[in-house]
Amino acid sequence: MTLWRPDPSFYPSARMAMDAPPERVAYVAALNYGRNDRPDEIRVVDVDPSSAGYGQVLTSLALSHSGDELHHFGWSACSSALCPNAPHPHLERRYLVVPGIRSSRIYIIDTKPDPRKPSIVKVIEPEEVFARTGYSRPHTVHCGPDAIYVSALGAAPGRGTGDGGPGGIFLLDHYSFEVLGPWELDRGDQHLAYDFWWHYGHDIMITSEWGVPRQFENGAVPDDLLGNRYGHRLHVWDLRRRRHLQTIDLGAEHQMVLELRPAHDPTKQYGFAGVVISTADLSGSVWTWYRDNGTFKAKKTITIPAEPADEGVLPPALKPFTAVPPLISDIDLSLDDRFLYVSCWGTGELKQYDVSDPFSPKQVGSIHIGGIVRRTPHGDSGPLNGGPQMVEISRDGRRVYFTNSLYSSWDEQFYPDGLAGWMVKADVSPNGGMTLDRRFFLASGDTRPHQVRLEGGDASTDTFCFPS
Amino acid sequence: MAAFGAFHGLNPGMGWLFALALGFQRRSERAIALALIPISAGHAVSVALVAGAILALGTRVSPRGLQIASACALLVFGAYKLRAFSRHPRWVGMQVNVLDLAWWSFLMATAHGAGLMIAPMLTTLSDAPHPAAIPLTLAVAVHTTSMLAVMALVAWIVYKKLGVAVLRTSWVNFDLIWAVALLIVGTVALL
């Protein structure tokens, strides 16, 4: 459809996005675990507090195939369409780009005309992804001004260097959703992939490292972890010239560098990276990357220690350590660049930090729910397993939604009693501090929720080209 | 000629928005003014190429023949743009120097057929049997100056008064208007 004026959900600056009306529905990736004949779903959850169905599933869109394993997904277009070097202001924030991380299939899901009743409009088959990009296991989706960027964790079957890598980034056309091809012209020493985002105003892309597919598809590989063979580096790229510029090694013991959250302010050049676990002491950490005289550096700014635990209550993988690691699986930064949320999936805690000074975060909030040992309930839910995992912040920063499933085979390792899905919401005070919303507890049993996307955009979707 | 220049100048995708963003990014009003100059230059080169082609062909083809040819080219191009008005070349990034900006603007103007659009008018500028260099040069200068003046005015008003929020309501679909305008100008020139 042709728009006459820009999509009203495109915002020149983060401040304008924060002042926009709140979201009414959330889209949630829902993994149909353990019933392999049934497909995964995109669920539409009512997040309008004035609605009778608040906190409940409005509709579920079943995918056309089974076994995809939904994970991350994203909007096809966002505020980046207003960026002046490649303006496409009359695109629409309308389609969700939803990859299956296990199948490498990509669904294009239309959220119009009724945002509560999305429909599949295109399916990109794995063979097409393999043939056109040389990659497999599509993961993070970001809407760029010129195309849709997607990270991929592995090489296509029969391609790459033989160990399942390299992973990288490929592009989709934002009108036709054609697979355009791999993004990199020169990948330098980058081999492992996971997340990516950018400092768009500075032509800089940052990417992170998890592992090659054999290191995650059937669960974490203890030998690889203890041998420090998961990713522990950040990569800096020239976004415009598609070339690798720099590698930042966080140290081999900092295993699995996952989520990347650059400052939303386009004049800034710093951001946060979450590290799942340190093999030195089982702690999790958050690093601040920053530019110093032209080169990028990174500094550990948050350390969350492991908590001692009885061998008896630990899953087999953790018994030898008599401690439960926080396992930082996701982080998210509010649009005003003020609050950073850190998911501790192992200990069952969501932490909130004031990062006004990005080099000295101050914890200002904490919520316990689930956890390998604690099993903290939500109200009178009874003991819960899983822990805070994918976290999404509303544009205005006043609400935080989070879910508890990490990745099917890892869920089994760390919660072997069978992870039961839930999604919850917390209310945030303007100056920090948060409380769980008693009215919002969405239990989903075997259907395991993963990433959440909010109507009209959220804190990990949009790129802004104008400062607030 | 001046009106076409003004229309280009109004379109945020043609330059003033880029200049404005660079101003915000670098926190400098001066950066806006400095960016507009290479943007205008790139645009002028694109238009001048068309003027040059008319000058070269003018010795061999009659003015009416040139006008018909340029009108047909416009109609074909306009029909294409109507189908694919939202398509643009792949741009530069956000960290740009003077040459980048000029090149970006040249690509923009060329891809949108900015020179092509004024071609039918350029063929009628001279009383002589063949197009002449001086009126053509003047035409390109008038067009570019008009564009620069409008870009500067719009950028200044948005920077000082309105703020970029105005983009959300006022950035109408110039690409679509442009495609229709190409077709109208082509038709008028043909008749």
What pLDDT shows up at residue B171?
A: 85
Q: Nearest CA of chain A to the CA of B20: how many Å?
A: 9
Tens-digit pLDDT profile for residues A389-417:
999 999 999 999 999 999 999 999 999 99
Is the Cβ pair B94, A10 closer than 8 Å? no
| Distance (Å, whole) CA A464 – CA A17 | 9
Partner residue opposite B94 with nearest CB, options A3, A82, A201 = A201
**CA closest to B25 among chain A residues:** A267
Query: To probe the interface with B, which of A1, A83, A466, A468 has the most B CB atoms within 10 Å?
Result: A466
Is the Cβ pair A201, B27 closer than 8 Å? no
A48: Cβ–Cβ under 8 A, 6 or more apart, which residues? A24, A25, A54
Q: Which of A295-309, B78-92, B96-110 ranks highest by mean pLDDT? A: A295-309
Partner residue opposite A12 with nearest CB, options B13, B86, B167 = B167
Residue B169 with chain A: CB contacts under 8 Å:
5
What pLDDT shows up at residue B92?
A: 76
- Compute the count of residue pairs across chains A and B with CB atoms less than 8 Å apart: 89
Tell me whether A466 touches chain B (CB under 8 Å): yes
pLDDT category of residue B155 using cuts at 50, 70 and 90: very high
Query: To probe the interface with A, which of B168, B169, B175, B178 has the most A CB atoms within 10 Å?
Result: B168
Is the Cβ pair A466, B24 closer than 8 Å? yes
The predicted complex's ipTM stands at 0.85
First to last CA, chain B: 19
| Distance (Å, whole) CA A217 – CA A338 | 35
Residue A142 predicted with pLDDT over 90: yes
Domains of chain A: total: 1
Mean pLDDT, to the nearest integer, of A355-360?
Answer: 98
Q: Delimit the domains of chain B by residue range.
A: 2-190
SS3 A448: strand
Tens-digit pLDDT profile for residues A212-265:
999 999 999 999 999 999 999 999 999 999 999 999 999 999 999 999 999 999
Is the Cβ pair B169, A16 closer than 8 Å? no
Q: Nearest CA of chain A to the CA of B98: how many Å?
A: 14
Domain with A82, as residue range(s), is 14-454
Residue A252, classified by CB atoms within 10 Å of its CB into exposed (0-12), middle (13-18) or buried (19+), is middle
Residue A13 with chain B: CB contacts under 8 Å:
164
Partner residue opposite B91 with nearest CB, options A6, A86, A202 = A86
| Distance (Å, whole) CA A251 – CA A326 | 19
What pLDDT shows up at residue A35?
A: 67
Tens-digit pLDDT profile for residues B51-86:
898 888 888 888 888 889 889 999 999 898 888 777
Residue A5 with chain B: CB contacts under 8 Å:
168-173
Looking at A97-111, B143-157, B163-177, which range is the least confident one?
B163-177
Mean pLDDT, to the nearest integer, of A317-339?
Answer: 96
Tens-digit pLDDT profile for residues B18-50:
999 899 888 888 999 999 999 999 999 999 999
Residue B128 predicted with pLDDT over 70: no
Report which DSSP code applies to A80: G
SS3 B137: helix
| Distance (Å, whole) CA A27 – CA A109 | 11
Residue B126 predicted with pLDDT over 80: no
What pLDDT shows up at residue B145?
A: 94
For residue A462, the Cα-to-chain-centroid distance in whole angstroms is 13
pLDDT category of residue A356 using cuts at 50, 70 and 90: very high
Residue A282 corresponds to which tokens in the numbers above? 């089982």
For residue A155, the Cα-to-chain-centroid distance in whole angstroms is 21
**CA closest to A269 among chain B residues:** B25
Which CATH number is A77's domain given? 2.130.10.10
Is the Cβ pair A267, B27 closer than 8 Å? yes
Tell me whether A266 touches chain B (CB under 8 Å): yes
What pLDDT shows up at residue B127?
A: 61
Mean pLDDT, to the nearest integer, of B140-157?
Answer: 93
pLDDT category of residue A87 using cuts at 50, 70 and 90: confident
Query: To probe the interface with A, which of B20, B39, B99, B164 has the most A CB atoms within 10 Å?
Result: B164
What pLDDT shows up at residue B129?
A: 66
Residue B149 predicted with pLDDT over 80: yes
**CA closest to B163 among chain A residues:** A12
CA distances from A308 to A222, A283, A320, B181 (A): 20, 11, 12, 72
What pLDDT shows up at residue A89?
A: 85
Is the Cβ pair B25, A83 closer than 8 Å? no
Can you name the residues that pair with A273 across neighbouring β-strands? A260, A287
Residue A370 corresponds to which tokens in the numbers above? 């689930």
Tell me whether A21 touches chain B (CB under 8 Å): no
| Distance (Å, whole) CA A129 – CA A236 | 25
The secondary element (H helix, E strand) that includes residue A152 is: strand A148-155
- Whether residue A358 is contained in a domain is answered as yes
Residue A14 corresponds to which tokens in the numbers above? 């983060």
Residue A447, classified by CB atoms within 10 Å of its CB into exposed (0-12), middle (13-18) or buried (19+), is buried
The torsion defined by the Cα of B23, B24, B25 and B29, in degrees rounded to 10, comes to 30
Nearest to A390 by CA among A377, A400, A375, A398: A400
β-strands A284-292, A270-278 pairing: antiparallel
| Distance (Å, whole) CA A404 – CA A460 | 18
Residue A467 with chain B: CB contacts under 8 Å:
24-25
Residue A217 corresponds to which tokens in the numbers above? 């598809």
First to last CA, chain A: 30
Is the Cβ pair A467, B168 closer than 8 Å? no
Q: Nearest CA of chain A to the CA of B10: how many Å?
A: 14
Residue B2 predicted with pLDDT over 90: no
Residue B103 predicted with pLDDT over 80: yes
**CA closest to A267 among chain B residues:** B25
Is the Cβ pair B24, A175 closer than 8 Å? no
What pLDDT shows up at residue A335?
A: 98
Residue B118 predicted with pLDDT over 90: no
Mean pLDDT, to the nearest integer, of A153-179?
Answer: 96
Nearest to B86 by CA among A91, A75, A10, A82: A91
Partner residue opposite B18 with nearest CB, options A13, A85, A90 = A85
Is the Cβ pair A202, B176 closer than 8 Å? no
Tens-digit pLDDT profile for residues A4-58:
889 999 999 999 999 999 999 999 999 998 766 899 999 999 999 999 999 999 9
Is the Cβ pair A146, B171 closer than 8 Å? no
| Distance (Å, whole) CA A196 – CA A208 | 6
Nearest to A276 by CA among A337, A232, A317: A232
| Distance (Å, whole) CA B42 – CA B170 | 25
Residue A74 corresponds to which tokens in the numbers above? 């994203």
pLDDT category of residue B124 using cuts at 50, 70 and 90: confident
Give the angle A360-A362-A367 at the CA atoms, nearest 5°. 145
